[in-house]
Amino acid sequence: QVQLVESGGGLVQTGGSLRLSCAASGRTLSSYAMGWFRQAPGKERKFVGAITWNDDNIYYQDSVKGRFTISRDNAKNMVYLQMNSLKPEDTAVYYCAARSTTVSVQSSAYSYWGQGTQVTVSS
């Protein structure tokens, strides 16, 4: 079992930045692909980005490319989502998720989820 806890969300103005963290416990993350998803009120959970277990590939949803950066520190069992140039449409609950095989853009492919952290971008 892998337990995931997100942190770092909050209220920020348009154009601002936030860094989300995802802390894992229970098992080392070094063998897991990690994904970030977000869910706005009344909408489906959507893929934001994902990183392979060894950092050799990182994928992003088109709307966040160039603004968001995913990184991981397997030694610390941490995954990060650096979000810059935030827009009101980035407002959502952000979740990190773990998958024991390769990355996927499908939320249903991930076995472990955090509880989410709220990001609100004011205009």
Tokens of 16: 């601002």
95-109, pLDDT tens digit by residue? 999 999 899 999 999
Average pLDDT, the chain: 95
- Of residues 101 and 46, more confidence is placed in 46
76-95, pLDDT tens digit by residue? 999 999 999 999 999 999 99
